Structure 1
């Protein structure tokens, strides 16, 4: 978990700096019709954190833990990230991920192998779920960097 924590902490700083540099107009620009803006990509990462934080908590005590999927596009639309300020979205992203860092930093090693069942019935460990969360975040942060460059 130490590696995942270090990666998350690095991204907290980088995201804040990136969005300070690009400003509202560039952050709201969509690369094509139907594609997410930088604000919406970051909002999607907020939604991911909103969904994964309780997963990381509950999977420690509910065995086996069954993951409930969520409708990503609908969440981004319902959360109105395009209409919110960059500052507000960055604060939400930072707050949610600081909470996740806290949860995984105090997670007992005995919980790492707890079973989590995905929507398609695949069994994965809680440790895998945390790693997948970070990799998902990194995928979208790379997407975001390409979009704003």
Structure 2
């Protein structure tokens, strides 16, 4: 069976009850910064500037994207927990990946991700069952429950980590 280079862990799907899965997802979110740092720690600039698949982002862009995406997620969680069905602002991730800050050393985004995830993990670990049912409105996707969004971001981190680790394995790094 051929590996899907774009989605090495498959696409996100909600399997089972959110309540029974949320603790595991929250722990995944807490562990991501360390795993991502470990995955890129031995890579040099040439390797960091290698696309994980033909037509895909470079490892460097992936790391910066995860930091940007998870900062947005943190704000979305806070909005959903403090407002009634807030409409969130989507962003053009493909365009963001072309901005000058995506050329910075990955250590900057790894530090940022560690800080965001420290706060995010603490926030999510303290949620009640009622909090998990709160929603925000995504203009393209409609209503998204906090509990489902936890799963989506656990998957998101796993997804991008696997893009990097599978590239490293394929390249023998």
What secondary structure sits across from 1:112 in the alignment?
helix
Q: What is the aligned counterpart of 1:143 among 163, 168, 171?
A: 163
Distance 1:115 1:94, change over 3 A: same
TM-score by length of 2: 0.75
Runs of at least 5 residues in structure 2 that lack an aligned partner in the other structure? 1-21
Question: Which gives a bigger RCO, structure 1 or 2 (Cα 8 Å, sep 6+)?
Answer: 2
CA root-mean-square deviation: 2.0
Query: How many pairs are equivalent?
Result: 148
Q: Where does residue 77 of structure 2 map in the other structure?
A: 56
1:69 aligns with 2:69: no
- Per the TM alignment, residue 77 of structure 1 is displaced from its structure 2 partner at its CA by 2.1
TM-score by length of 1: 0.86
Q: Where does residue 119 of structure 1 map in the other structure?
A: 139
Distance in structure 1 (CA, Å) of the matches to 2:52 and 2:140:
32
Contact 1:24 1:86 in 2 (8 A): no
Which residues of 2 match residues 41-52 of structure 1 at below 5 A? 41-52=62-73
Distance in structure 2 (CA, Å) of the matches to 1:106 and 1:31:
36
Contact 2:33 2:114 in 1 (8 A): yes
